[in-house]
């Protein structure tokens, strides 16, 4: 099934592409809707099989953990960007004061 055919209000083909690429983690309601549309279990979509079938609490915890880890990774990226900007600013300030190569 194409991403365009799978898409629905609140879940665009672009968002499905990001899910497939591992860039986004769907919410539980979205995971359930996608599984319904594809005719597979939510566990199959989440884990690649039904090994955890019937264990929605574990699925919820795993999704929440992944979201938290994604948020942490994004925070680290933002912190690195800020640090890089500060280092460039400090370098430019030193260069403007004539102390860059001293």
DSSP state of 40: S
If one counts every other C-beta atom within 10 angstroms of the C-beta of residue 27, the result is: 14
Sketch the domain layout of the chain as residue ranges.
Answer: 3-96
**Do residues 38 and 1 make contact, with C-beta atoms less than 8 angstroms apart?**
yes
Question: In tens digits, what is the pLDDT along the chain, a chain of 102 residues?
Answer: 899 999 999 899 999 999 888 888 888 889 889 999 999 888 788 877 655 545 666 777 777 777 777 877 788 888 888 888 998 888 888 887 765 555
């Amino acid at each position: 099934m194409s991403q365009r055919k799978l898409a629905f209000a609140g879940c665009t083909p672009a968002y499905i592409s990001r899910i497939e690429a591992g860039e986004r983690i769907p919410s539980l309601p979205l995971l359930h809707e996608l599984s319904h549309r594809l005719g597979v279990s939510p566990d199959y979509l989440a884990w690649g099989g039904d090994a955890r079938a019937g264990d929605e609490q574990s699925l919820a915890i795993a999704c929440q953990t992944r979201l938290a880890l994604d948020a942490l990774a994004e925070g680290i990226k933002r912190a690195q960007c800020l640090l890089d900007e500060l280092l460039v600013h400090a370098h430019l300030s030193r260069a403007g004061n004539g102390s860059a190569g001293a």
